[in-house]
Structure 1
Amino acid sequence: MQVWLCENPIGPEALVWTTLPTPEPKEGEVRVAIKAASLNFPDLLIVQNKYQMKPPLPFVPGSEYSGIVEAVGEGVTGFKVGDRVVTFGGGGGFGTHVITKAAQLMPLPEGFAFDDAAAFLCTYGTTHHALIDRGQLKAGETVLVLGAAGGVGTAAIQIAKAAGAKVIAAASSDEKCALCKELGADATINYTTGNLRDEIKALTGGKGPDVVYDPVGGDLAEPVFRSIGWRGRYLVIGFAQGGIPALPLNLALLKGASIVGVFWGEFARREPKNSAAGLAELAAWYAQGKIKPVIDQRLPMSALKDAFARMSTRKVHGKLVLTND
């Protein structure tokens, strides 16, 4: 098999595309022939040794992928050779094959494309947990989505609209704002050219958004939190801008607002039944055409470094997907 091997976690430039013996699955494991894998921000952090979980060296990065079961180990009863599967977590996805625990896999329904599946679990699972579970979003409420043209941002637009909410999408360019409108956003804000607080006020009639979906952090957080509506819920998704903001807590008091942390991976581990129910609803929405991952580019698996380079430009619309044809 061929894999991207990380022996020195100093960044994507140190990854090596190499050939290793194709392993056989042990008890409770399966071998998956990878069809597609997507690039997520934690994949960058983990090869830079900046992620909270640090796998032993050497390792193969890539946490989200789809493929076909090629071999099963002893004791595996839930999967058989030929099954279509998808998973998030555990690593090993940036290659042609991977050994993983059968318990980490999910069956992939017929009609669910491999490239869509590889771009689905993390972003849509996180966003459904954020908006529907943690944010308690209701039909008719207004959601402000920051970083709205990225992977989780595009998912947030689609899920909020599926839930019957009004969506204000904030992004860093007119081109990205146009994409957000195509995905169903009711209004957009280019936060590099306009006054963010003034535009939020104008678009909400002075009320402010009911829910803020923030995967960006940095210097956008405070002005947006100052604009949130009464009983607003500020969903902390991540910090793509790099800086972790320090919000003045008196604003939460004055607005009766909540700062709500969102950690989908831990939610899925601690509350597997609730997580499975959310994913089932998402799968149904996908089948109904209500949601579909936005894929910026499809690249061959061997072009992982090119994908990391594009990610660094902050010009990605949706997700980057690597495929084994």
Structure 2
Amino acid sequence: MEFNSLYNLDLRSNEFQAKVVAFYYKHWNDFNMPYHKHNSVEIMYVISGKCIVNTVNDSFSMRKGDFILLDANVPHNLVVDKDSPCRMLNIEFIFEQKTANFPSIKDLEQGNPVLASLLARARPYILLRDSDEVYHTLKNLVFELDKGSLNNEWMVQLQLAQLLIRMAGLAAELEDPSYQQIDLYVKNSMDYIHHHYDYPIQVKDIAASVNLHPGYFHRIFKSNTGQTVVEYLTSLRVEKAKMLLAHTDIPVAEISDSIGINSREYFSAIFKKYTGHTPGGYRKSIEKMSWTNLSEDFIHPTQ
């Protein structure tokens, strides 16, 4: 049995999973698509250029990073101007009875209030703005689908689950009246930092990622987080370094390169400032703690 609407109540009470039925990249130029509809949920993601997506009641001008989530059987068309070609990634999916031990839509909804909120809205379409996370997930999903192997079905289902949850988060932010543009700038910049902390990025690079002047960006970031951009980036790098020192055998001399700091001396200085230990001393303290715990377990085994 298949259910095609994202908002079918049976998805929230029975065991169903998403199934992709179509996916493709397409370069459009000077194109006016007739109105049509699909018996599936569709995501139309603009990779580059501009386009217009029309529904019966609304018209959406879309540019790079915009995508529209269309529920099944919603009439729509696509218009692309000859002077501004558009490259898109489209995915269509339906819902079918769960066939293996994958998380069902019901499982995902029960474990994620934001997704539950999206499914309860029952909107035929919604235009969303991506900060690269959805596109990254879409690309990974297409990569797994292209493999065409039965063995990677788990990866496909995980990517689909991640896609639904990410879209739900963006929809919640869009519809929250207290959500301000400044908050969006800060959130997107933090996303950029978390994806690029292992590069030697600077404040100007982070500001450019959200199209803001560095000085203005610095002010709104500190106002919203209580930290400067540099403090936030440095704190994140130190936490990543602590994880690498504690759980990997990467040489201490190479840890700084793994977190985007070119100078080993500078890395050692800031690490000691934040933790009270040198990087080498921190690793030794973790190893000593692990050995102590192991010895205690050996002497006093758990009953």
Q: Same fold (TM over 0.5)?
A: no
Bigger fraction of residues in helix: 2
Larger Rg: 2
Q: Between the two structures, name the one with larger relative contact order (CA 8 Å, sep ≥ 6).
A: 1
TM-score by structure 1 length?
0.24
TM-score by structure 2 length?
0.26
